[in-house]
């Protein structure tokens, strides 16, 4: 009987010791903002596309498991372009979206972190700027895309983040506000952001 009690106590001590050594998940959060350089392209050779500098801002979170973290984020993204269809007038377009990246973050080389994951566009609208007015006309950005990148955390709170965002497939048969149509429209962008982690 004493032997069973002793073995039970030793077993419980071993379990508690293992649980104490296991890394605990920590929740992190912060704010981020920066610029993005979009690259809209089309397969129509006689259509002229001029990309405009954009920006993004939002909230970053992470469930930190040590060398690995899961990072869901919410970003407001603004992008723009000027496009001149063949034989038409130049059209000034602005795309506004709310993107939700869900990233896997690898943190083996501190303070550097490497990111990759899908990006879900949960709200998107595109506007044509005409004089002082902005006219809604539809979607341009994809609803599912991906991002890869790297970041570095300085002084435990300051985040510098560089990402490449792409889409899995082009948008087909995009109708512009003047009624002209693009067979394909593809967009990528490079985003440089600065953040503060609380």
Over 90: is that where the pLDDT of 141 sits? no
Kindly tell me if the per-residue pLDDT of 70 is higher than 50.
yes
For residue 1, tell me if it sits in a domain: no
Q: In this structure, is residue 51 part of a structural domain?
A: yes
Q: Name the residue with higher pLDDT: 8 or 42.
A: 42
In-domain check, residue 6 = no
Which pLDDT belongs to residue 60? 98
Tell me the average pLDDT across 63-81.
95
**Is residue 34 assigned to a domain?**
yes
**Domains held by the chain: number:** 1
Mean pLDDT within 84-94: 86
Token pair of 66 as six digits: 């040590």
pLDDT of residue 11: 54
Answer yes or no: is pLDDT of 176 > 90.
Answer: no
Record the pTM.
Answer: 0.82
**Residues 91-114: what's their mean pLDDT?**
94
Whole-Å CA distances, 39 to 4, 7, 28, 76, 173: 70, 66, 32, 18, 18
Q: Which residue matches tokens 């560089």?
A: 162
Answer for the pair 169, 184: CB distance below 8 angstroms, yes or no.
no
In a domain, 8, yes or no: no
**CA atoms lying within 13 Å on the CB side of residue 24:** 5
Element holding 139 (H helix, E strand): none
For residue 173, being part of any structural domain is answered with yes
At 82, which CATH number? 2.40.160.20
What is the domain extent for residue 139?
Answer: 24-197
- Could you read off the pLDDT of 17-66 as tens digits, one per residue? 544 455 578 999 999 999 999 999 988 888 899 999 999 999 999 999 98
User: Is there a domain that residue 7 lies in?
Assistant: no
State the average pLDDT for the chain: 86
Count of CB atoms within 10 A of residue 29's CB? 12
Predicted pLDDT at 7? 47
pLDDT, greater one: 75 or 21: 75
Residue 70 belongs to some domain of the structure: yes
């Amino acid at each position: 009987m004493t032997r069973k009690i002793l073995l039970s106590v030793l077993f419980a001590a071993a379990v508690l010791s293992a649980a104490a050594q296991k890394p605990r998940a920590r929740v992190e959060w912060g704010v981020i903002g920066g610029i993005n350089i979009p690259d809209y392209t089309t397969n129509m050779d006689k259509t002229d596309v001029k990309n405009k500098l954009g920006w993004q801002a939002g909230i970053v979170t992470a469930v930190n498991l040590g060398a690995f973290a899961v990072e869901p984020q919410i970003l407001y993204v603004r992008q723009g372009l000027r496009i001149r269809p063949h034989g038409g007038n130049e059209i000034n377009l602005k795309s506004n979206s709310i993107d939700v990246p869900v990233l896997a973050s690898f943190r083996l080389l501190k303070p550097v972190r490497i990111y990759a994951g899908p990006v879900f566009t949960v709200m998107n609208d595109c506007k044509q700027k005409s004089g002082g007015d902005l006219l809604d006309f539809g979607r341009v950005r994809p609803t599912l895309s991906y991002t890869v990148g790297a970041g570095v955390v300085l002084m435990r709170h300051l985040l510098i983040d560089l990402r490449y965002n792409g889409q899995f497939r082009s948008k087909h048969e995009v109708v512009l506000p003047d009624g002209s149509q693009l067979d394909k429209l593809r967009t990528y962008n490079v985003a440089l952001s600065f953040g503060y982690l609380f």
